[in-house]
Amino acid sequence: MTAEADWGQLLGDAPVLPVVAVDDPERAVALSRALVEGGLPCVEITLRSPKALACIARVAAEVPGAVVGAGTLTRAGEVAEAEAAGARFLVSPGLTPTLADALLASKLPALPGVATPSEALAARARGFGAVKVFPAAALGGPGFLRALAAVTGDLRLCPTGGVGPATLAEYFACPRVFAAGASWPCAKELIAEGRWGEVRERARTLASAARAALAGEPS
């Protein structure tokens, strides 16, 4: 199975990747259930807290339908740790030579982060077929994605950073964009206050917007 097929199967018909920062495994489980119920089964839990790997492990074991991955990978050693915790995909904010080696050696789909055409071309030269464009909004939003797609050949793009319901359709209209990462459905205040119903509704909003955008329907 190719990496392209891997991402298609993981993301399903609403290719939005919720980006989650959570430090409590119980909340990670409740949050992931709400996202799955809202139609966004692919959940990226970032390695930004000491308990992130425990959160990934709990979600992988306890949330049917969830496809949990590890984000914010910054060191090569974290690849094996994420795999052992049950991650099914890997995401990094950038790419170093040693991290690239570890991601490519893994059997899991990986999205290395890029912010410039040079970084995107370097990732493609290393063998990656898809990259995360981060931070997308700060880099110029959909206009930047269109310009990047024009010079990076068949490299597929996943904008992350500042993506929400108001901009999702415009991002998906950009060439080579196959998915988008978004923290909006799992904002830190929703997690802190356990507002899982609102998480579920935000997930539904983004899932519906993604399907409409892919179908070419007006928002």
Q: What is the three-state SS of the chain?
A: CCHHHHHHHHHCCCCEEEEECCCCHHHHHHHHHHHHHCCCCEEEEECCCCCHHHHHHHHHHHCCCCEEEEECCCCCHHHHHHHHHCCCCEECCCCCHHHHHHHHHCCCCEECEECCHHHHHHHHHHCCCEEEECCHHHHCHHHHHHHHHCCCCCCEEEEECCCCCCCHHHHHCCCCECCEEECHHHCHHHHHCCCHHHHHHHHHHHHHHHHHHHCCCCC
Given 4, 26, 44, 170, which residue is catalytic?
44
- Is 132 a known active-site residue? yes
Given 119, 132, 198, 217, which residue is catalytic?
132
- Is 189 a known active-site residue? no
Catalytic (active-site) positions:
44, 132
